[in-house]
Structure 1
């Protein structure tokens, strides 16, 4: 009798073990495809099937079946709602909505944790303020008494509040801030129904690139770090830590792939989201507007604390979060280790994606990136690089005269170093012909006063280039 009992118990344990191995595990991931900073944590992992490559297949996962579910959102708030409801396990979003994600989970008696950064800027680039293309406004200071719309409780809302405070304005008297989603703001800018709009990645660049807005403020002017990253339900992470590490290994590979071929993957992002490749390249390409960086730098930890305090100011919460436990880098550290990468070295590295390129005219290696110019010709797989902006303008003129379509021309801002859409920028031409680029008119004029030279809008610079080329052609004849 005892033998039969022991046999039954053993058989029961075997069946339980088999059932565990045969478990069907859901991996439900919320993404924001059009928020292109989330690409390496969502869109690229999904489209390139990178998660499947790293999911565990041994030990307790030997016979496990995975059900990978992807759901796309246009903002962080609805994504958070579904995470709190238990419909999603992972979610990618910015610092402000991510902090609200943590608050919302705690209010529901749960916990979420921030496990990685995906892309960000310790300076604050990515967030920005735009005005209608025909607006006479050239700077934030000129918006006093005006109406500015912004996606409420977004990372750009936090940037706007800090920018307004820096002007010394009274939020209740000196400016009118209204809530407006990017898709609504685009239409309002086209029809001049708002004076200005503040937004997050990529809209402060996307709207100007589409021709109906002009950027008059970059988040770097507020010097407030910002980032997008990934959160996971803490209970899920504790139950399936190996799956969390697998997801992060997929994100590390996605980051490596886009670094190696930024034009190729910028095209893929355009194909899937409608966000033009030239805007994607502006962020993800060499010396880009933001730095793709998975590590938890002190500046990003501080940005999270700032976001939580600003949420209190906005009365979106009366509770705080312990950032030391809300941000959890142990899974990321393990993913780096398994990927053969040094987390501590990456943590100390603040450099943007580097550029190793030769000048398209001389063929010489470019070493001065402060005056770098880049041209992306439609139909060409790679961006052209120029050590001299003057040479790039001359080449641009020749290409357009030949009927060639130009996707974009880029410049690096001489003061902040951020990448600019050159056709939206201001330039200072020195006596030796060198051109320095700036985002704003007053930045260019101040530089000209200090260093000599003349401040010119891109259109005036083009006219000057055409005249010079015509004179040169006449001389040759």
Structure 2
């Protein structure tokens, strides 16, 4: 009898333990960078649209699990990394440079983090950039020798700036003065002309010019150094809850699909949450955008991680390397693609920017050649208007302004690099046929004009010509 009661008690204890295990409350603590808008599909959109709940597992060992989802927003990657290393966060979204520092910080603490997915990037480096005050006479990086350039230290823009300075053949400690400055401080410094130039990451090299107090004089693509933003997870967490890591990436995939389908709508949502204007969000996230939303680990992005680690050594942030093949772990994003019925390897091989399927706003005919695409976003309109050429768009702009329409943004595609530009900040070359080609920089336009014939003009000049022509 005594044995029977003992066994019964043991069975009850085992049953209670099993129930308690399956009823475990699992924390999912996610660090976001909302104003770093290229992290949106790994944070802001998942949170605001409640996407994560759709994919969290509720079977097997998760049958009776309860989830406690926590969100915390940061303005940069370094403090986010600190909280991940301290065990206060499980996931984080950041760029290649701070992401690599995340891996180093975990290793130095006797732990491991994993870079599990790209979110958005440019295999040529677009997204990072250098700006000068709007009133500055500087038109190119070459004119900044001997000047003071600020940058958020240990950021992906810092890495870009060092590469850009090296490409000029300059000594970064002698030929320029590089100082640490966060974006919010740099904005004020640019407004008051207290800084010669500022290098920054997404979206500030476009946001500051869009707000009228700065001018972009260097795009990261000129350094031809890949850059991206991606998602990381604590290694111990991934080992314990691999299904949750995959669920998070399923939510990220859906966020990516939603913004691809309705870029204007979700650009508005990002503005509502962050204050970053929708027209700047569209510049990145819209079709043929400045960067490409891409969740696959292209060789260029793996190289960006390796380059970032080498740069950390140069900056004496670490004296050890980091095994990129172990740090970058694509098993979870591959699992997410498979669950979603998507072909990861096909996406991995696809280098095309987000496509545009649109009709010309004037002729109504499908646009098939996007080399001279121009676009206008009229305030109050849900969709961006598309034009097959800048000259068409400028004629339409003159009419819209006559009607008293408030123009939110005008976009053009750069004739040399193909990147999307804020047309109001661009330079143009008009050839003998009257066709306009857009460029980011004055010297790029002048070189093109010299080689191909034509005249280099700023936006105000080509816009005035369009008005006079009417």
Mark yes or no: TM-score above 0.5.
yes
Specify the alignment match of 2:65 in structure 1: 64
Q: Which residue of 2 aligns with 1:472?
A: none
TM-score, structure 2 normalization = 0.99
Alpha-carbon distance in structure 1 between the residues aligned to 2:69 and 2:77: 20
Q: How does 1:306-455 map to 2 (within 5 A)?
A: 306-455=307-456
Instruction: State the 1:280 CA deviation.
Output: 0.1
Q: Which residue of 2 aligns with 1:25?
A: 26
Partner of 2:299: 298
Question: Shift of the alpha carbon at 1:398?
Answer: 1.4
1:186 maps to 187
Alignment partners' CA distance in 2, 1:98 and 1:241: 20
Deviation at 1:83, TM superposition (A): 0.5
SS for the counterpart of 1:109 is: coil
Counterpart residue number, 2:41 = 40
Equivalent-residue separation in structure 2 for 1:152 and 1:34 (angstroms): 17
Structure 1 gaps of 5+ residues are 470-477
Match of 1:316, SS? coil
> What secondary structure is seen at the aligned counterpart in 1 of 2:451?
helix
Matched residue, 1:91: 92
- Residue aligning to 1:474: none
Deviation at 1:8, TM superposition (A): 2.5
Aligned-partner SS, 1:92: strand
Report the Cα distance in structure 2 between the residues aligned to 1:32 and 1:101, rounded to whole angstroms: 15
SS of the aligned residue for 1:25 comes to: strand
Q: Deviations over 1:207-257 (max 9, x none)?
A: 000000000000000000000000000000110111000000000000000
Q: Is 1:233 the equivalent of 2:234?
A: yes
User: Could you tell which deviates more after superposition, 186-195 or 451-460?
Assistant: 451-460
CA-CA distance at 1:170 after TM superposition = 1.3
Q: Per-residue deviation at 1:32?
A: 0.2
Q: Cα distance, 1:172 vs. partner?
A: 1.8
After TM superposition, give the deviation of residue 431 of structure 1 in Å: 0.6
What is the CA distance between 1:466 and its match in structure 2?
Answer: 1.6
Deviates more, 1:155-164 or 1:166-175: 166-175
**Aligned-pair distance for 1:6?**
2.7
Match of 1:109 in 2: 110
CA shift for structure 1 position 54: 0.4
Secondary structure in structure 1 of the residue aligned to 2:47: helix
- SS of 2:293's equivalent in the other structure is coil
User: What is residue 224 of structure 1 aligned with on the other side?
Assistant: 225
Q: Distance in 2 between matches of 1:273 and 1:241?
A: 31
Q: Deviations over 1:297-335 (max 9, x none)?
A: 000000000000001101111111100000001011111
Q: Secondary structure at the match of 1:33?
A: coil
Q: Specify the SS of the correspondent of 2:174.
A: coil
- The worse-fitting range, judged by mean Cα deviation, of 57-66 and 125-134 is 57-66
| Offset at residue 261 of structure 1 (A) | 0.2
Q: Partners of 1:275 and 1:170 in 2: how far apart? A: 35
CA distance in 1, matches of 2:409, 2:385: 11
Give me the whole-angstrom Cα distance separating, in 2, the residues matched to 1:116 and 1:161: 26
Task: Give the secondary-structure state (helix, strand or coil) at the position aligned to 2:215.
Answer: strand
Aligned-pair CA distance for 1:464: 1.2
What is the CA deviation profile of residues 21-60 of structure 1, one whole-angstrom value per residue up to 9, with x for unaligned ones?
1100000000000000000000000000000110001111
Aligned-partner Cα distance in 2 for 1:352–1:171: 33
Distance of 2:73 and 2:89 partners within structure 1: 11
Instruction: Say how many residue pairs are matched.
Output: 469
